[in-house]
Amino acid sequence: MQSSREIPIAETVEPREEIKASTLPYHVDLVNLDRASPALVKKVEDDGILWKGCENEWKT
């Protein structure tokens, strides 16, 4: 997750629960990139896969 505004922890509960209850064939970590290390942000930018329907708001 990355946003131009602060993401309250309460707003991450529903997406986390939906991912946990899903039948996705992959392990998914929901991470607030605004609070992640620069190395992790770079890794996600380089290797991450944007989910269909999500907007790409990478800070450049």
pLDDT in tens, 4-43: 778 788 888 888 888 888 887 878 777 888 888 999 999 9
Which of 48, 3, 11 is CA-nearest to residue 28?
Answer: 48
**Is pTM, for the whole model, over 0.75?**
no
Residues 6+ apart with CB under 8 A from 6: 34
Q: What is the pLDDT of residue 53?
A: 59
The rounded distance, in Å, linking the Cα atoms of 42 and 47 is 8
The rounded distance, in Å, linking the Cα atoms of 19 and 37 is: 23
pLDDT value at position 60? 37
